[in-house]
Structure 1
């Protein structure tokens, strides 16, 4: 089996716009993105798993393979994920197709997609799809390399979401920050601790 790094580099050279990262996500970021997951999390969906760094962390938290569904566009990544993670459902489809392909409510959606580099309609469609499949108290987790949430305030307000900001994960190239989105109103942004562990 091709190493994750070799596969990542090959796909980056072939399709830099779709991969849209200079290096695979670090294990530290993967732990931060999956903090709080476990066997009790119910169905979990991952958007843009790439080589599967977050996927492996999700499973390491105790989420059963049959409770995990991945959405990945790159055909070589899809073949790699299917071989590496037996029992996990892998769709070669855009995240916006999630509501059509997921028939049950899910507890968590984890996204490795580069939202800030996407056109606004695409970004909005991805987040809307996530909240279409999420249970009422479900969470949408997204990391970004920027200093602000990867969604503009007007979109957060339009979707009726609250956002919690985690610590910066410095052990990543480039450094990244995790954001957690939920339905509901709040007086202002909150900060969650412990996300960089």
Structure 2
């Protein structure tokens, strides 16, 4: 109950920054984490909030010290440090994760996102996805839930970065009902330079194809 009140308070204060009015449900957490095991390797969570998905990761066998939590909200960050003392908690924007020495390039097996991507400028979404896939290993997956009928990452962003999205489940036992998408690198030819974009090597001017 305390977590719900905390979410509601932050949502009322800054609804664009805290995209949800309540913590994610256990049903949604189960779908978000069901492909992940201890064998997945290190996991990064973007916008973990109060740690619903983090608990589910532990239940799936992921060691707490293999979890990195990237949370911009200072109140949530303090709460996460208390609840998951062995995890690495980074109070920072998810768009800046490549600047953190705590995150090794290609070192993660999965990224889970609780971010409200639809409320963000497209250029910021591109930067977040670039950073996430730079941290992911070659076969790593990015998991994003959405309250809408389509993936939260727009098709033009997916195409630009050489990514593909697949709906892997959904639940009505969440407020509001939610769907989960798994995003992976698309199969591309070896001479296709779009691979540079998803690895973060693209020049900044390439982002000009998107308007905020």
Residues 131-168 of structure 1 deviation map (CA, whole Å, 9 limit, x = unaligned): 11100100000011111111222211111112111232
Name the stretch that deviates more: 148-157 or 26-35: 148-157
Question: Who is 2:35 aligned against?
Answer: 36
> Are 2:74 and 1:75 equivalent residues in the alignment?
yes
**Kept after mapping to 1: 8 A contact 2:169/2:181:** no
What is the CA-CA distance between 1:115 and the residue it aligns to?
A: 0.6
For the residue of structure 2 that corresponds to 1:49, the secondary structure is coil
Q: Which residue of 2 aligns with 1:174?
A: 176
- Is 1:85 the counterpart of 2:84? The answer is yes
Q: With structure 2 as the length reference, what TM-score do the two structures score?
A: 0.83
Alpha-carbon distance, 1:16 to partner: 2.2
Query: How many residue pairs end up in the alignment?
Result: 185
- 3-state SS of 1:16 partner: coil
Partner of 2:126: 124
**C-alpha separation between the residues in 1 aligned to 2:3 and 2:24?**
11
Give 2:203's aligned residue.
none
**Unmatched 5+ residue regions in structure 2?**
189-212
Partner Cα distance (1:14, 1:152) in 2:
27
Match of 1:192 in 2: none
Largest Rg, 1 or 2: 2
Distance in 1 (alpha carbons) for counterparts of 2:175 and 2:97: 29
